[in-house]
Amino acid sequence: MWAKIGETAGKVYHLLEDGEKSLSNLTKILRREGCNTNLVIMAIGWLAREDKIVVIKDSGKWTIRLK
């Protein structure tokens, strides 16, 4: 499972290289590649733990961007 989370974290990171994305947008993009919502959230947690991203909640919308 760790490998799948790490692989998904890499995909999230590369998507964020193009600019910030909402959590719903990231989930939508990665679901097309076979990643479920829980896996995407765990990958975001992985990147947050590594201090690679900033996660912001504004008016009920979660936005993620690279540091």
Residue-number span of the structural domain to which 35 is assigned = 2-66
Number of compact structural domains in the chain: 1
* Mean pLDDT on 14-33: 97
Residue pair 23/62 in contact (Cβ under 8 Å)? The answer is: yes
Taking the CA atoms of residue 37, residue 61, residue 54 and residue 43 in that order, the dihedral angle to the nearest 10 degrees is: 0
| pLDDT at res. 7 | 97
pLDDT of residue 63: 97
CATH number at residue 25: 1.10.10.10
pTM for this one? 0.93
Q: What is the DSSP pairing of strand 61-66 with strand 53-58?
A: antiparallel
Mean pLDDT of the region 33-37: 95
